[in-house]
Amino acid sequence: MTMAIPDELHSKMKQHPEVKWTEVARQAIEKKVQILESEKDPWRLYAYKRWAEEGEDAEKLFKF
C-alpha cells in the first residue's frame, strides 16, 4: 500500500524517528474498519432505533 503524505506532515514525522509510522497507520486503519463494521451491527442498529423512537441513550442501550 502506498500513501500520499503532504510534505509538511512528512517533515514533522521525520522529526520523530522513534515512531513506527506504518504501525500508527495500520492501527488507524484497523480502528476505522472496526467502526464501520460496528455500524452494521444489528444490536447497535436496534439501539439507535430505540433511541430515535423513545429518546433513550443509544450507547447505554448498546452497553447492556
Q: Examine the pLDDT at 58 and tell me if it is beyond 70.
A: no
Q: Quick: pLDDT tens for 40-51.
A: 777 777 777 777
Per domain, the residue ranges of the chain are: 30-64
Look over the chain and give the mean of its residue pLDDT values, rounded to a whole number: 83
**What's the average model confidence in pLDDT over 23-31?**
94
Please tell me the predicted confidence (pLDDT) of residue 28.
94
Place of cell 521525520: 14
